[in-house]
Amino acid sequence: MNYLFEAFKPPCHIKVTYFDAKTPKQASIKKENGQMITVPLFQSQETIAGEVTIEPFRGKNVEHIGVKIELLVQIELYFDRGNFYDFTSLGAQLQPSSNQQQYQDGSRN
């Protein structure tokens, strides 16, 4: 039975590190299902730079159709308080499709 629950776990850990010396401000937003999440908050004048690390768990194989990162923006208009508008501001393809595997010794393919 434990094997069944293992099947739905993600095969990797994804970490985003920002190059800015200070930690970005955090904002709490409500998802469509009502759950509150905390996300980084940036102003329009700020430069956003960083590194995305994808680490497969030991012995796991990760196949993907490409790694893409997108900057999603949420705006609340002054005259329309309480309604938020979402859009994609910027997207970048980080890696084309491939197969990444973590070997027992920790090295990656």
* Sequential DSSP letters for 4-17: HHHTTS-SEEEEEE
* Own/partner pairs, 21-26, CB within 8 angstroms, 24+ separation: none
For 50-85, write each residue's pLDDT tens digit. 888 888 887 777 777 777 887 777 777 777 766 767
Q: pTM for this one?
A: 0.54
Question: Under a CB-based contact definition with an 8 Å cutoff, are residues 52 and 15 in contact?
Answer: yes
* Alpha-carbon gap, residue 13 to 60, rounded angstroms: 11
For 20-52, write each residue's pLDDT tens digit. 766 778 888 777 788 888 888 777 777 888 888
Report H helices in 7-109: none
Amino acid at 42: F
Please enumerate in sequence order all residues whose Cβ is within 8 A of that of 106, keeping only pairs 6 or more positions apart, or say none. 58
Q: What is the mean pLDDT of residues 1-29?
A: 72
* Alpha-carbon gap, residue 4 to 1, rounded angstroms: 5
